[in-house]
Structure 1
Amino acid sequence: MGEIRVGISGWTYAGWRGDFYPSGLPQRQELAYAAERMGSVEINGSFYSLQRPTSYASWREQTPDDFVFAVKGGRFVTHMLRLRDVETPLANFFASGLLALGPKLGPVLWQLPERLEYDPDVLAAFFGQLPRTIGELAALARRHDAKVPDERALTTAPRGLASRRVRHALEFRSPSFCTDEAFALLREHDVACVVADTAGRFPMAEAVTSDLVYVRLHGDQELYTSGYGDAALDRWADKCRGWAEEADVVVYFDNDALGFAPHDALRLIERLDPLTR
């Protein structure tokens, strides 16, 4: 059986205070509180801007030894450059501090905009630039430019981790990706196809294209706002058990607007216990 981890997309939400987070819990303790109850969290601030090594190091220190972070790739690469001419921006992203996560660095998520359609040449070129080990990540990071000053760049692989694998996942939102050709390209480059539940707004593909299945649950009735009922969570638990027969599975709840995400994550964990972490 593969490993199953269930968590949330982000953890700093004012509306969760006094609900998921107990009243009076200091904000600086929220990550630790969530990490005690879940096996993984998706860092999504990295999508909006380059973070700092000190931030990644702090997040690592606040979580248990067996915890794993997924890191969302920068929108400058995916939404502004649209995967083209991204060698230096990729170097900047990886130099910004991911290496400070050490053994807690999990998969890197690349979310594409809705209007970015499938182009095999662009996609293959992008996949070919992605680092597949911590050592490759560090080597790419050393090619950063002045957008990440030397004094705040992290470009050295942690000791003993250079050969550790780095996995990648692609969340597309254009139906043009839902073809056998596109799925074959993801398999060729060992990139996980994200299973994204978006209340029907965007396509949901369940193709297994790697030994990782990456699931993002944005809401099944209303995007970002609806919670998952018992029947829905039962179905997702069954899917996770099936995928785990051939792959590792990570699941992140992103229905955060009304505070359902952490509660739904815990309810799914209950259904998957003892398989999940």
Structure 2
Amino acid sequence: MPKQKTGEIRIGIGGWTYEPWRGTFYPNGLAQKRELEYAGGKLTSIEVNGTYYGSQKPESFAKWRDETPDGFVFALKGPRFATNRRVLSEAGSSVERFLTSGVTELKDKLGPINWQFMPTKKFDPDDFEGFLKLLPASHEGRALRHAVEVRHDSFKSPDFIALAREYGVAVIAAADADYTQIADVTAPFVYARIMGTVEKEKLGYPAKALDAWVERARLWAAGDTPKDLGTVGKTAEKKPRDVFLYVISGFKEKNPAAAMSMIERLRLREARTA
């Protein structure tokens, strides 16, 4: 029997510049200019937070591309100037400015874009659809994948899920935190951000929790929806999907260890089922 097709699973962390990682994640004496290169060899993706606060130069995106291995992918956070506004449909110039800042210099390493909203932003169907209409399917000949991270309970609505599916935009599953959790699958890919690492655990999470997240990622990649995460809309069509899973916030010093442990657990699991 042929092996069932599944999507790619990429696991990583937020950013790569963090002083407490020097000597814990990064070897002592490693030059700071080589930290991305090192992280790229240990992880399969990184979410870039700096693009949320300000624009980057095309040369920076090209440099990141060149310093990471084939198959590595960057998720980018869309600029706050696009999402932190009262009328979302007026964000067109901010969206365009971001997309023309050089993001396509990442080429095949351009992953999904996380449009993150403030916890005070409530779901208004017309307002939110106005924003989704501003997100192009491609730019400069390269397909774009958009995701939204909403943090107000008013988004726990079947209408919101239906709207996200209509536009092919992923709803980010924010887990292990106090933020609103919505794990409905709404796009051809899945984007999850887990925020529960703690200092007392050597790998940030207990082994059981790491195993659970690996299994959820495998289910998503195979086209299923984990039954232990909260959903609010109709079940998504079953089909393989790429998965992007990031260990964010929590006890940040342990995030690389958690991500690397999940990558190894996934590798061993796949080796057993090959």
Same fold flag (TM > 0.5): yes
Looking at structure 1, the residues matched to 121 and 197 of structure 2 have their Cα atoms a distance apart, in angstroms, of 23
CA RMSD of aligned residues (A): 1.9
The residue that corresponds to 2:93 in the other structure is 88
**Cα pair distance change 1:220/1:174, threshold 3 Å:** farther
Which of residues 155, 172, 175 is equivalent to 1:194?
172
1:123 CA displacement: 1.2
**1:192-231 alignment, distance < 5 Å:** 192-199=170-177, 201-219=178-196, 227-231=204-208
The residue that corresponds to 1:32 in the other structure is 37
Which of residues 65, 71, 74 is equivalent to 2:79?
74
Q: For 1:205-252, what per-residue CA distance to the aligned partner results, in whole angstroms no more than 9, with x for missing partners? A: 110111211010121679xxx922111111111111111112111101
Identity of aligned residues (%): 42
Looking at structure 1, the residues matched to 251 and 64 of structure 2 have their Cα atoms a distance apart, in angstroms, of 23
For 1:132, the aligned partner's letter is A
**1:1-277 alignment, distance < 5 Å:** 1-80=6-85, 83-133=88-138, 137=139, 157=140, 162=141, 164-199=142-177, 201-219=178-196, 227-246=204-223, 247-255=241-249, 257-273=251-267
Given the two structures, how large is their TM-score scaled by the length of structure 1?
0.84
For 2:253, the aligned partner's letter is G
Given the two structures, how large is their TM-score scaled by the length of structure 2?
0.85
**Secondary structure in 2 aligned to 1:210?**
coil
Q: For 1:92-115, what per-residue CA distance to the aligned partner results, in whole angstroms no more than 9, with x for missing partners? A: 111112021112111111111000
The residue that corresponds to 2:227 in the other structure is none
Looking at structure 2, the residues matched to 169 and 258 of structure 1 have their Cα atoms a distance apart, in angstroms, of 23
User: Which runs of at least 4 in structure 1 moved beyond 6 Å after TM superposition?
Assistant: none
Question: Is the CA contact (8 Å cut-off) linking 1:212 and 1:249 kept in structure 2?
Answer: yes
For 1:106, the aligned partner's letter is G
1:259 CA displacement: 0.7
Question: Is the CA contact (8 Å cut-off) linking 2:169 and 2:186 kept in structure 1?
Answer: yes
**Secondary structure in 2 aligned to 1:273?**
helix
1:179 CA displacement: 1.2
Question: Is the CA contact (8 Å cut-off) linking 1:227 and 1:255 kept in structure 2?
Answer: no
1:83 CA displacement: 2.4
Question: Is the CA contact (8 Å cut-off) linking 1:215 and 1:251 kept in structure 2?
Answer: yes
Looking at structure 2, the residues matched to 46 and 15 of structure 1 have their Cα atoms a distance apart, in angstroms, of 22
